[in-house]
Amino acid sequence: MTKLLRVVESEKPNKKFKAIYKMDSGREKTIHFGAKGMRDFTLISNPKSKFYLPDKKDRIKVRDNYQRRHKKDLITANNKLGIGAGALSFYLLWTTPKMNVSSYKRRFNL
């Protein structure tokens, strides 16, 4: 069974995070996700972020618009399993105000 080992900062200059999985075959797989320099729901919800939106209605509107635009990204095989960049961004960066890795792991049984 595929297992999400950890989510850490990415060393790639244009990505925010990387997720490291242990695949069924025993090998590790790394997925980089989140465009560095761009806002996400975790940033627009954080008062210390330059992207912070003080009005909760505005934050929810931005999140809902992102999710509406990117819902189609979730139909690929890897994203359906929770091991794609689209699913990682959708559920970790754009669903809750703080990244909730344990909820993500439960959602996809990782």
pLDDT in tens, 39-97: 999 999 999 999 999 999 999 999 999 999 999 999 999 999 999 999 999 999 999 99
Domain housing 45: 3-108
Average pLDDT over residues 100-104: 95
Task: Give the pLDDT of residue 89.
Answer: 97
Q: How far apart are CA 83 and CA 44, in angstroms?
A: 25
Tokens of 14: 């244009």
Tokens of 50: 């330059």
Q: Has this prediction a pTM greater than 0.85?
A: yes
Domain count, the chain: 1
Instruction: Give every strand in the sheet of 3-9, ordered side by side.
Output: 3-9, 15-22, 28-35
